[in-house]
């Protein structure tokens, strides 16, 4: 009698088919079963990890079978032609691993391919080879069958040199996707930062192209995040570009949000689906001017004890090494769980042993250097511009001319610039430094305001800190009565952080000091 195995028991048997004394007990037997997944994928395609191409193969996932089996990949070419095959013992078919089958016969690539999972016991004694026809008896015995398209994809992202900050777009030299129709599959390119190990950070977008298909040269990608915020590349660094498939319904030239799009997987014989998919990386070098180098706020060398130093982002910092030959130095941000992000790439030259890093876009965190004798075990902290502040926490509502007015300041920034303005414009400008997050009190002598001869008596501190510079406007009379405003601005970010009314950023807004 034929026997069938179903997912569920659809009928119960209440009575024996035959009398017990007429039954014959069979020997133990195994009902073979199996399953796997096979999805659309690229192969022989751009691989940023090797700076080359993946080895032609088809990768299947979640392969399960309870008998020794052979995975056979075929394509239609007048008959069902074998492109490649791989035998796998049942103990390795537990659904945990990806398995790649090498394309030996690539006549059907790119194009649709079918994978059969066939018990080895059901294959004939004939030895099958790529290029042979797969007999119907073998395909009929398959435990599972899946069909998907294999495509060829190419990305060429060349290095760039720029003498200024890049804040509009970058260009990818070539992007191509070839399918059975030659190039009808729609796709987009997305730009991302990299981890220190070269892995593309897929969920951090720096830009996305319009919808493309086929071969495209000089693809321009606007630099902006998913929320529309502009992106500026101020520091030399490596970036990655990867390919994502676009859903049906979009046309070439359309704009699309990439966060829900599928990454085009890239199959390699030895590494299965490679980490970065179809991708390429490039070094975008931002050449620093002499003025930017001269403005470097901090300088360290490989022999300097800079461990646990705290630096303020927003400006340029420099590092020096003593090696005679030019060498690359990289800066990384430690993001925890043994993971770090590549934040900058520089190199010394035969003329200079210094490298400079622009920290404008560096977020608050722990950083370390590698190369040229610098050790990843020595770290320092950078306070990002978004976390720097200069807050006026106490300002009197009124004061009299000739009086000493006190303002309380709390800051976590490199320097603070104070501007005191009245009915006729700026009265005084002050630059000062204070310890991290420690409040200090400023004494503003209104009698000395407006007379450069008394500039040394204009501002003083009650508490920690140093006054770096003071200027005052020359007027021929005492300060006029009226409304005055004092504004504190943290340096390097250059963003005013006055007090009291909450601003959209959550920090205080300017508060005028009104005087009779």
pLDDT tens figures, 30-68: 788 999 999 999 999 999 999 999 999 999 999 999 999
Positions of E strands within 169-251: 169-178, 187-192, 207-208, 214-222, 237-245
**Dihedral pair phi/psi, residue 327, rounded to 5°:** -150, 145
Residue 497: pLDDT band by 50, 70, 90 thresholds?
Answer: very low
* CATH architecture observed for domain 34-151: Sandwich (2.60)
Fold agreement between 153-286 and 388-515: yes
* Predicted local distance difference test score (pLDDT) of residue 414: 78
In angstroms, the Cα distances linking 137 to 78, 90, 100 are 18, 22, 24
Q: Are 297 and 315 in contact (CB under 8 A)?
A: yes
Q: What is the CA radius of gyration of the chain?
A: 34
In this structure, of 29-33, 236-240, 275-279, the range with the lowest mean pLDDT score is: 29-33
* Predicted local distance difference test score (pLDDT) of residue 118: 95
Residue 5 has pLDDT above 80, yes or no: no
**Domain boundaries 297-384, corresponding CATH code:** 2.60.40.3720
295-312 average pLDDT score: 79
pLDDT tens figures, 418-435: 998 888 888 889 999 888
Going by C-beta distance under 8 Å and a sequence separation of 6 or more, which residues neighbour residue 95?
62, 63, 64
> What order do you get walking across the sheet with 339-347 strand by strand?
310-312, 379-383, 365-370, 328-336, 339-347
The domain limits of the chain are 34-151, 153-286, 297-384, 388-515
Q: How many CB atoms lie within 10 A of CB 447?
A: 15
Going by C-beta distance under 8 Å and a sequence separation of 6 or more, which residues neighbour residue 301?
319, 320, 321, 322
* Predicted local distance difference test score (pLDDT) of residue 102: 95
Positions of E strands within 213-338: 214-222, 237-245, 262-263, 266-268, 272-273, 279-286, 298-301, 310-312, 316-320, 328-336
468-478 average pLDDT score: 83
The pLDDT mean for the chain works out to: 87
pLDDT tens figures, 327-353: 899 999 999 989 999 999 999 887 888
* CATH architecture observed for domain 388-515: Sandwich (2.60)
Residue 495 has pLDDT above 50, yes or no: no
255-270 average pLDDT score: 94
* Predicted local distance difference test score (pLDDT) of residue 194: 97
43 Cα distance to chain centroid: 24
In this structure, of 3-17, 133-147, 205-219, the range with the lowest mean pLDDT score is: 3-17
Residue 231 has pLDDT above 60, yes or no: yes
**Dihedral pair phi/psi, residue 291, rounded to 5°:** -65, -40
Residue 27: pLDDT band by 50, 70, 90 thresholds?
Answer: confident
Q: Are 31 and 52 in contact (CB under 8 A)?
A: no
* Predicted local distance difference test score (pLDDT) of residue 401: 82
Strands 310-312 and 379-383: parallel
Tell me the three state secondary structure of residue 138.
Answer: helix
pLDDT tens figures, 102-113: 998 888 899 999
* Predicted local distance difference test score (pLDDT) of residue 496: 37
* Predicted local distance difference test score (pLDDT) of residue 166: 96
* Predicted local distance difference test score (pLDDT) of residue 8: 58
Give 42-105 as a DSSP string.
EES-EETTTTEEPPSEEEEEEEEESS-EEEEEEEESSSEEEEEEEEE-GGG-BSSS-EEEE-S-
Number of residues written out for the chain: 516
Tell me the three state secondary structure of residue 40.
Answer: coil
pLDDT tens figures, 392-402: 888 888 888 88
Residue 17: pLDDT band by 50, 70, 90 thresholds?
Answer: low
* Predicted local distance difference test score (pLDDT) of residue 265: 98
The whole-angstrom separation of Cα 82 and Cα 115 is 10
Specify the higher pLDDT residue, 484 or 216.
Answer: 216
Residue 15 has pLDDT above 70, yes or no: no
**Domain boundaries 153-286, corresponding CATH code:** 2.60.40
185-214 average pLDDT score: 96
* Predicted local distance difference test score (pLDDT) of residue 491: 73
Q: Which residues pair with 245 in a beta bridge?
A: 187, 262
Share of the chain above pLDDT 90, in %: 53
Residue 379 has pLDDT above 70, yes or no: yes
């Amino acid at each position: 009698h034929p026997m069938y195995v179903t997912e569920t028991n659809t009928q119960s048997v209440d009575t024996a088919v035959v009398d017990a004394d007429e039954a014959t007990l069979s020997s133990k037997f195994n009902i073979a079963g199996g399953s796997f997944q096979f999805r659309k994928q690229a192969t022989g395609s751009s691989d940023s990890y090797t700076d080359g191409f993946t080895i032609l193969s088809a990768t299947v996932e979640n392969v399960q079978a309870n008998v020794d089996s052979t995975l056979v990949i075929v394509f239609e070419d007048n008959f069902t032609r074998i492109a490649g095959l791989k035998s796998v013992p049942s103990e390795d078919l537990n659904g945990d691993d990806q398995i790649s089958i090498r394309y030996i016969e690539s006549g059907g690539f790119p194009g649709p391919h079918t994978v059969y999972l066939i018990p080895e016991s059901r294959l004939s004694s004939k030895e099958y080879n790529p290029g042979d026809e797969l007999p119907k008896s073998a395909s009929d015995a398959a435990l599972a069958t899946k069909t998907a398209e294999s495509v060829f994809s190419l990305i060429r992202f060349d290095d760039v040199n720029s003498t200024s900050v890049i804040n509009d777009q970058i260009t990818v030299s070539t992007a191509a996707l070839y399918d059975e129709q030659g190039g009808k599959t729609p796709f987009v390119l997305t730009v991302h930062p990299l981890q220190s190990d070269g892995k593309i950070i897929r969920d951090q977008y720096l830009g996305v192209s319009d919808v493309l298909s086929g071969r495209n040269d000089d693809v321009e990608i606007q630099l902006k995040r998913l929320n529309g915020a502009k992106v500026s590349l101020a520091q030399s660094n490596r970036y990655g570009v990867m390919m994502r498939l676009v859903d049906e319904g979009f046309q070439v030239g359309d704009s699309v949000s990439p966060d829900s799009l599928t990454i085009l997987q890239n199959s390699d014989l030895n590494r299965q689906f490679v980490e970065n998919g179809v991708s390429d990386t490039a070094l975008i070098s931002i050449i620093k001017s002499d003025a930017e180098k001269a403005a470097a706020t901090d300088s360290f060398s490989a022999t300097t004890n800079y461990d646990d130093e705290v630096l303020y982002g927003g400006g340029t910092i420099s590092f020096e090494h003593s090696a005679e030959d030019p060498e690359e130095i990289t800066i990384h941000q430690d993001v925890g769980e043994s993971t770090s992000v590549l934040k900058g790439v520089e190199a010394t030259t035969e003329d200079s042993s210094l490298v400079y890093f622009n920290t404008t876009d560096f977020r608050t965190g722990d950083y370390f250097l590698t190369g040229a004798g610098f050790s990843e075990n020595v770290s320092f902290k950078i306070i990002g511009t978004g976390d720097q502040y200069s807050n006026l926490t106490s300002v009197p509502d009124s004061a009299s001319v000739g009086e000493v007015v006190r303002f309380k300041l709390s800051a976590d920034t490199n320097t603070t610039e104070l501007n005191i303005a009245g009915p006729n414009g700026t009265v005084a400008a002050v630059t000062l430094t204070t310890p991290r997050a420690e409040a200090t009190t400023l004494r503003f002598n209104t009698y000395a305001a407006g007379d450069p001869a008394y500039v040394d008596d204009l501002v003083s501190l009650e508490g920690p800190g140093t006054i770096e510079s003071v200027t005052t406007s020359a007027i021929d009379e005492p300060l006029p009565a009226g409304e005055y405003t004092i504004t504190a601005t943290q340096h390097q970010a250059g963003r005013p952080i006055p007090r009291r009314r909450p601003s959209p950023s959550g920090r205080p807004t300017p508060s005028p000091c009104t005087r009779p």
